[in-house]
Structure 1
């Protein structure tokens, strides 16, 4: 019996086997995709002038509802109204490898009177070397009394003062940027502080603006920055708990976080596996 005959005789057997396998596969449920591990986010908070006890909960719960993130929180320093609240130096920053093991750092701190250049440059270096960051509100005014520019370059914005609390109309200045997709054309943010722009650094992309009442010009209040290898999302918005609890704000910060960590798609949606852990 030659090879051609053997192959011909084998076709019915192969066909039957194929039908059996197809039937078996049709009955098996599709395999469940393996969800990636949550992004490990270190939140640094504390200092002057804000309700950080409440804000650390607002942010950790609100962002976890919108992105696959897991928070470690370091909250240090005197109370926001206590003496020397602006002078505290977060202890983890004393280590050269302070950001090791984290996928992203969320800065929500207010230590404007710290002037130790080496200490500040150590903070910035982690981001220059590639650890992404989210910079919220008074983080922009932190370390502003120092002579080094590294923190300001890392932020992407230089600001030394802010206007008094007032209703702020925020304009979407870059609606095609993934972070700003889903952000309204205009958003009225009640009772927040407009941080006056002294300088917008060269690698900063303005995403949102608000017109100043004292310094009458458009000020960058939402932005994206590249600092060395690090991607930075920042906003000076978020003075009050009411602002931070607003879904518009939390949605914005969640997109900014995912963008900085390279987990946001071009349409402003979390990449597969990085969606929120609970329903909004």
Structure 2
């Protein structure tokens, strides 16, 4: 009898471990959707760089909704469904749709995040879906404030193509633990017109020459001045306090392909979906 019980216990324990692991959400692949397309960037290559970089680092399946439209009016078929985000754990907004101004279309995007679907917002997502007098601070709750409230910062413009010195200002946050400061290649430093709930994680410093009008030459005696802005932050959005991460970095392919950038994005995916511990360590089964 004892000889029979021992093997049965071994089988039972093995089965228990198998089912426990199967029930562990962290053991399941993270379902990620990248929405990419629109003006001013090489989204055709960047969405592929992101997908490859994420899947190389995480236990994740990355789908892409890509629109080759290179205008500021690029829209995405997936957003037209009411339950557009139902198959995904987290959405990466990497679109540049500055002149998409249909409130109903934008509200449908935001409703998914209000209902608890996390988001990671990249670069020109900060300058999308804006209308009205968006160059001035929007008023909380106003018709044109919804996207900015989701993002957590209202940004209206950017500096020149020039390197940015990145400093992680909240090194104690789980998302930033272990990440080191670095200097980018030529990038655009987005301004911070106003904070709308954002909790800064990193700042950027860039030396900028005075702007000149098209067709005019720079004054040979002009000197560069230092510009500073928050370049990475978190936000809690809507009644469910959905976790949101945003970074204004990511204009050029070389930045998007930089291992330091991809590490930041993948850690953001883990943090927004609750798969990053307070000690900064990924949950079991969530990384490769």
State the TM-score, normalizing by the size of structure 1. 0.83
8 Å CA contact retained: 2:164, 2:185: yes
1:125 counterpart residue number: 111
8 Å CA contact retained: 2:166, 2:182: yes
128-137 or 261-270, which moves further after superposition?
261-270
8 Å CA contact retained: 1:47, 1:88: yes
1:6 counterpart residue number: none
Instruction: Specify the structure having the higher radius of gyration (Cα).
Output: 1
Kindly report which structure 2 residues correspond to 1:70-149, keeping only aligned pairs within 5 A, or say none.
70-78=61-69, 80=70, 85-145=71-131, 148-149=144-145
1:48 counterpart residue number: 39
Q: C-alpha offsets along residues 32-65 of structure 1, whole Å, 9 cap, x if unaligned?
A: 6547221111110000111111111110110111
Aligned to 2:34, what secondary structure does the other structure show? strand
Alignment of 1:169 onto 2:179: no
Q: C-alpha offsets along residues 78-100 of structure 1, whole Å, 9 cap, x if unaligned?
A: 2x3xxxx1012212212222212
Distance of aligned partners of 1:132 and 1:26 in 2 relative to their CA distance in 1, 3 Å threshold: closer
Alignment of 1:224 onto 2:234: yes
Alignment of 1:259 onto 2:259: no
8 Å CA contact retained: 2:162, 2:206: no
What is the CA–CA distance in structure 2 between the aligned matches of 1:58 and 1:187, rounded to whole Å? 20
Residue ranges of structure 2 left out of the alignment (5+ in a row)? 133-142, 209-224
Deviation at 1:221, TM superposition (A): 0.4
What is the CA–CA distance in structure 1 between the aligned matches of 2:251 and 2:199, rounded to whole Å? 22
Aligned to 1:259, what secondary structure does the other structure show? helix
- Indicate which of 195, 203, 209 corresponds to 1:200: 195
What is the CA–CA distance in structure 2 between the aligned matches of 1:58 and 1:88, rounded to whole Å? 21
135-144 or 33-42, which moves further after superposition?
33-42
Q: C-alpha offsets along residues 70-118 of structure 1, whole Å, 9 cap, x if unaligned?
A: 111111142x3xxxx1012212212222212211111111001111122
Kindly report which structure 2 residues correspond to 1:63-74, keeping only aligned pairs within 5 A, or say none.
63-74=54-65
Deviation at 1:201, TM superposition (A): 1.1
Aligned to 1:179, what secondary structure does the other structure show? coil
8 Å CA contact retained: 2:163, 2:206: no
Q: C-alpha offsets along residues 167-204 of structure 1, whole Å, 9 cap, x if unaligned?
A: 100001100101101211x21111111001111212x1
What is the CA–CA distance in structure 1 between the aligned matches of 2:130 and 2:266, rounded to whole Å? 26
Deviation at 1:218, TM superposition (A): 3.1
Aligned to 1:65, what secondary structure does the other structure show? helix
What is the CA–CA distance in structure 2 between the aligned matches of 1:88 and 1:143, rounded to whole Å? 10
- Indicate which of 180, 190, 205 corresponds to 1:211: 205
Deviation at 1:148, TM superposition (A): 1.6
CA RMSD in angstroms, aligned pairs only: 2.3
